[in-house]
Structure 1
C-alpha cells in the first residue's frame, strides 16, 4: 500500500477527513486536481456543532485567532434566529477560503501536504485495496478512499453511483463584495417586484475593509450558470432593493448557484466512501453544505482509523451511511422548505406569499425559534443509537475533574466516564481503545463526540462491543 487512506479533494470535507485520520494515527494522502488552493469562498458560516467538533480536536481557539470571524445570529428562510442559548458557542461568519487555509497550514505542520495537480482519471478496487490513477501519471494504492471531490465528483462518476434528486432549475448570484451605505448583520430584503437580496458579514480583509456576502435573486434573474456576472448586474439589484442607500464599492468574487437538490443513494461503495458535496448538493442556505460535509468527515475518520488498526467491529464502516445519510436528507428537506418560504425564485405567487406570511408569524414563537435554531446549529442531529436521554446526541461539554469533556476528546479516543469507579473491570478490557475517567457522570462517548451509552449498567458491555469491538 502507498497509504492507508487516500482522500480525493482538499475542500473542507477532505481537509477534515485528513485531520481525523491523522488524529487516528493512520497514514493519509490528500490529493486535489487544482494547482493551488481556491480563492473562491463558496460558504461563509460555521454552525455551533461544527465549532464544537473543532473544539474537541483543540482547533477552535487557534482557528478563531487566525482572523476576524464575527458572531452571527443565523437564519431560517430569511428569519433571524437567536442562537445565543445554543451550547457552547454561537454561529460564526467564517469564509470557506479562510477555513481551508487554516486547515492546510495545520495539516502541513503534521507533515500532510495536499498533492496538487492530481486530477483523478481512473479508479479500481479489489477485496483489500483501491487503486487511483491520475492524469499526471501518478498511481496511488490505498486500503480505503474517501471521495470529497465536490458536487461534480469524479469518484462518484467512476463508481457509477446513483445520485437521485432534482437538477437545478433556476440560479441566483452569490458574491463577496465591499459595500458603502447601510449594512446590517443579517438582512433579507424583498422589493415589490420580487427581487431580493441577502447580506451577511464575512469579517474584514487585510486592510480592515469589511467584506459582505451578497446573494441576489428574483424574477428574470435566473440565467445559465456560465453567463458572466457583471458589476452592473449587482448594482441594478442593489438599486431595486435599496434605492440609493447601498453602493457597490468592489466586487471580489461571484458565481451563480442553482437550486439543485440531490443525494447519493449510498455513501459506501466497498472501500470507497462519499463525503461532503460528493454525497449531497443543495442550495447553500446557512452554509449547511460545508458544515454537513465536515460532519461527514468527523463521523467517518475515526471509523476508518479503527478499520485500519484492526479493531473495528464488522459493521462499523456501514454505520457511516446509516448515520450520515439521514442527516443529509434532512438538510435537503429543510433547504427546500426555506427556498419556498423565501420565495427564492421571486415568483410573488399569492399562495407562496400567504405561506410566507404565516411562517414568519410562527417563527416568532419561542418554541419554534428554539427548534429552528437547533436545526440550523447542527445540534438537533441524533444518530440512530439505541438508548434514551443523551444517547445518539453530541456530548455536552461537562466539567470532568479539572478538565472538560470536549478537551479530553482531543487525542481522538473514546471516553468512558465512571464517576463511582464501578466499571473498572470493563474499562480495563477495552483500555486499548477507550479511556476511562473516574469523574463526570456515567457516559460512553465515541471519538467523534457522540454519546453511545448513558443508561443501564447492563447495557454498557454491549455498547462497548458494538462500537469498539471485542476486548483486546
Structure 2
C-alpha cells in the first residue's frame, strides 16, 4: 500500500477526516483536483455539536484564536433561536468555510500532511484487498494504492461517477443568488443587523443575510426575479434591484465579492459504503444550504468514520464496525434533508406568495413560542439530538447520545470530559471505586482509557467520536461492559 487511506477532496469533510486519521496514527493522502482552494466562503456557521467535536480534539481554541467570530444563535426558517435553547456550553459561531479549511490545512501540515492539489482522479478500481486510484497531475499520471478510499469530493463527485453510484433524489427546480457583499444600510431601524435575518417582500422576493466578519456579509436573494439558470452570471444591478425590492431604498450595495447561484436540489446516495470505498459530506448528500447544515453534517460524517477506518487499519475493528457508518450517518443526513425541505416551505423559497404558505408560517410562529418546540428544533438544527442505535445494549438515557461535557474530579485533578477525548481513543468513565470495571477494561488499555472519578454517578463507555456506547448505574455490572468493549473495540 502507498497509504492506508486515500481521501479525495480537500473541503472541510476531507480535511477533518484526514486529521482524524492522523490523530489515530493512520497514514493518509488527501488530493484535490483544484490547483488552489476556492475563495468562496460557502458555509458560514459552525453549530454547537460541531463546536463540541472540535473541542474534543483540541481544535476549538486554536480555531477561535484565528479571528473574531460572532456567536450565532442559529435559526429555523429564519426564526432565530436564543442561545439558552441549546443544551450545550458551546454556542455556535459564524465561521466561514474558508477559515475552517485554512485552519485544518495548517493543522495537517503540522502533522506532516500536505494537500496534493491539481491532482485529478481519472481512474478507480477496488478489490477485496484495497483500492487503486489513477491520478493525473499536469502531464503526469500515476497510481496510488490504498487500503481504503473516501470520497469527499463534493456534489459532483468523481468517485461516484467512476463507480457508477446513483445519486437519487429531487433535482433543483428553483435557484437563488448568493453573494459575499458589503452593504450600506441607512434605515432608521435595522432588525437583526448583527446576526441572521430573513425578510420577504409582497411580490415573493426574499433576502437573508448573516455576518462573515467585519462588515462583510453573506447575502442570499430569492424569489421569481432571481430564479434564473445557474450559468447566468450574477450582476451588481440584479443585487441592487433585489435589495430595493426587499428592503426599500435604505439598503444599497457597496461591494460585491464572490457570487453564484444555488438550487433546491435534494439528493442522497443509498449506500455510504461500497466495499473499501466510503462516501462522506456532499458526495453522499446535498440539499438547499439553509442554516449551514451541509458543512456541519460533513464534518460529523468525518468524525464518525475516521476512528472506524483507523480501527480497521490497526486490525482490531470488530465485525460490523465499518458498516455502522452507514446505519448511523445515513439516517442523520436523511433527517437533514427533511428539515431543510420543511424550512424552504416555511420561508417560501420559491417565492409563490401563496396564502397557504402565509397561513402555515403564522401557525408555525405561534408554535415557536412554546419552549419545548424551540428546544426541539434548536437541537435538530445544532446536531445535539443525534442518537445512534446501540444494538444489544440495555436502555439508558445517554446511550447512543453524545457524552455530556462533565466537569470531573479525578486522580489528576479537575478536567472536562471532552478534553479526555483529544487522543482519539475510547474512554471508560469509572465512578465505581472498585476493581471490577478496571479488571475488565485492562484487556483494551491499548485503545480505551479508563478514568476513575468521584464526580459522575453513572459509568460510561464513550467511543472516540464522543458518543456513549455503554452506560450503567450502580452497582456497575462488569459483564455487560465486556460485551460493549468487544462490540465497539474488538477483542481485548
TM-score by length of 1: 0.97
Q: Is the 8 A contact 2:441 2:482 kept in 1?
A: no
Q: CA deviation at 1:452?
A: 0.4
Within 1, Cα distance between the matches of 2:40 and 2:408? 41
Within 2, Cα distance between the matches of 1:106 and 1:249? 35
Q: Which moved more, 1:176-185 or 1:222-231?
A: 176-185
Q: Secondary structure at the match of 2:292?
A: helix
1:216-365 counterparts in 2 under 5 A? 216-365=221-370
Q: CA deviation at 1:138?
A: 2.3
Do residues 95 (structure 1) and 96 (structure 2) align? Answer: yes
1:107-118 counterparts in 2 under 5 A? 107-118=108-119
Q: Secondary structure at the match of 1:98?
A: helix
Q: What is the aligned counterpart of 2:220 among 209, 215, 218?
A: 215
Within 1, Cα distance between the matches of 2:223 and 2:26? 49
Paired residue for 1:418? 430
Change beyond 3 A, Cα 1:184–1:424: closer
Paired residue for 2:181? 177
Within 1, Cα distance between the matches of 2:263 and 2:87? 30
Within 1, Cα distance between the matches of 2:108 and 2:21? 11
Q: Secondary structure at the match of 1:135?
A: strand
**1:384-405: CA deviations, max 9, x gaps?**
1143210111101112222111
Paired residue for 2:483? 462
Q: What is the aligned counterpart of 2:465 among 448, 454, 472?
A: 448
Q: CA deviation at 1:353?
A: 1.5
**1:350-398: CA deviations, max 9, x gaps?**
1122111111111121111111111111101110114321011110111
Do residues 398 (structure 1) and 403 (structure 2) align? Answer: no
Q: Secondary structure at the match of 2:183?
A: strand
Q: CA deviation at 1:238?
A: 0.5
1:425-436 counterparts in 2 under 5 A? 425-436=439-450
Paired residue for 1:207? none
**1:257-312: CA deviations, max 9, x gaps?**
00000000000000000000000000011110000000000000000000000000
1:25-44 counterparts in 2 under 5 A? 25-44=25-44
Within 2, Cα distance between the matches of 1:161 and 1:203? 39
Do residues 368 (structure 1) and 376 (structure 2) align? Answer: no
TM-score by length of 2: 0.93
Within 1, Cα distance between the matches of 2:170 and 2:225? 21
Q: Secondary structure at the match of 2:373?
A: helix
Q: CA deviation at 1:162?
A: 2.2
Paired residue for 2:147? 143
Q: CA deviation at 1:48?
A: 0.3
Q: Give the gaps of 5 or more residues in structure 2.
A: none
1:150-169 counterparts in 2 under 5 A? 150-169=154-173
Q: Is the 8 A contact 1:162 1:266 kept in 2?
A: no
**1:207-246: CA deviations, max 9, x gaps?**
xxx1111110012321111110011101001001111221
Q: Secondary structure at the match of 1:122?
A: strand
Paired residue for 1:188? 198
Within 2, Cα distance between the matches of 1:436 and 1:227? 58
Paired residue for 1:65? 65
1:15-30 counterparts in 2 under 5 A? 15-30=15-30
Paired residue for 1:48? 48
Measured on the aligned residues, the alpha-carbon RMSD in Å equals: 1.0
